Structure 1
Amino acid sequence: MRRQLLAATLAVAALALAPTLAACTPGGSMSEPTPSASSSTRPPFQTATPGPVAPTGTPTDVPQARWDALVADLSARGVTSTPTLVSAEAVTFSDGSLGCASPGQSYTQALVDGMRVVVTADDQTYDYRFGSDDTPKLCTR
């Protein structure tokens, strides 16, 4: 009884694998992919945002501690003029990159409540991100 069951199982397996094995042997038939009748009208996938991103969060005031940290960071970068606030918004970022990922870096995969603060100084625009603390991250993409 066991031999008959084993023989039947092997026969079914051989029949199931026969088309696959035939396609892999020299001279075997293999179906060609059929071209799609409709071509895609979608634009190519972009991996980075081209240029500055428009505000998307809730407008808010910049706490003094964060403003002071931002001014100190600009000073450390050699910016001499007083920054002018362009926008400040409360944002929930999708991960620890704060919406400004660097290639090859790993980030926490958790929602992060923070801020996006855009300022101008010395005829330049600076896009700063804050997470849960008062440490500014300059987004340079």
Structure 2
Amino acid sequence: MRATPAALAASLILSALALTSCATGDTTMPDRNPGASRPPFQTSSPEPIAPTGAPAEVPTTKWEALVADLAALGVTGEPELVSAESVTFADGSLGCGKPGQSYTQAVVDGMRVVVRVGSKTFDYRFGEGDRPKLCER
């Protein structure tokens, strides 16, 4: 099948336009090297997240699970409640993600409970259940 002169001319014009648009050095395009002008994307904060939710009472089942977890870690002494709050976490990391880990990408209603035993402070997170997650940084 042979191309008609009109089709050949249209093809040449389109090719010329494509090449011209690539060679103009358009400065309205964003920089293709994102590291050149902005810091790298962070997947987690360097420190535990400060309390941001509504103050809440710690249910007995959650408190008992937290005390049992401290005992399993070898922590002796009576935990003292520093703060407790209801929180909606942005994902399954419960606000305490670790680099290189993947988490459920859905909001999670939960709780943040901070306790002190002696001179050490422990930041615990709960999702929708009663299983505590110690937020360590």
Is TM (by shorter chain) over 0.5? yes
3-state SS of 1:129 partner: strand
Q: CA deviation at 1:45?
A: 6.5
Residue 136 (structure 1) aligns with: 132
- Give unpaired runs (5+ residues) of structure 1: 24-29, 34-42
Residue 12 (structure 2) aligns with: 11
- Structure 1 pair 19–108 and aligned structure 2 pair: CA distance change class (3 A): same
The size of the alignment, in residue pairs, is 124
3-state SS of 2:121 partner: strand
Instruction: Please give the alpha-carbon distance, in whole angstroms, between the structure 2 residues aligned to 1:31 and 1:10.
Output: 23
Residue 66 (structure 2) aligns with: 70
Whether 1:107 and 2:115 are equivalent positions in the alignment is no
Q: CA deviation at 1:51?
A: 3.3
8 Å CA contact 2:82–2:116 kept in 1: the answer is yes
Report % sequence identity: 53
Q: CA deviation at 1:105?
A: 1.3
Q: CA deviation at 1:54?
A: 2.3
Residue 56 (structure 1) aligns with: 52
Residue 35 (structure 2) aligns with: none
- Give unpaired runs (5+ residues) of structure 2: 28-37
- Structure 1 pair 45–125 and aligned structure 2 pair: CA distance change class (3 A): farther
Instruction: Please give the alpha-carbon distance, in whole angstroms, between the structure 1 residues aligned to 2:41 and 2:48.
Output: 15
3-state SS of 1:92 partner: strand
Structure 1 stretches of at least 4 aligned residues deviating more than 6 Å after TM superposition: none
Root-mean-square deviation over aligned CA pairs: 2.5
8 Å CA contact 2:85–2:111 kept in 1: the answer is yes
Q: CA deviation at 1:44?
A: 5.4
8 Å CA contact 1:60–1:90 kept in 2: the answer is yes
TM-score with structure 2 length normalisation?
A: 0.79
Q: Which has the higher contact order (CA 8 A, sep 6+)?
A: 2
3-state SS of 2:98 partner: coil
Which sits farther off after the overlay, 85-94 or 46-55? 46-55
TM-score with structure 1 length normalisation?
A: 0.77
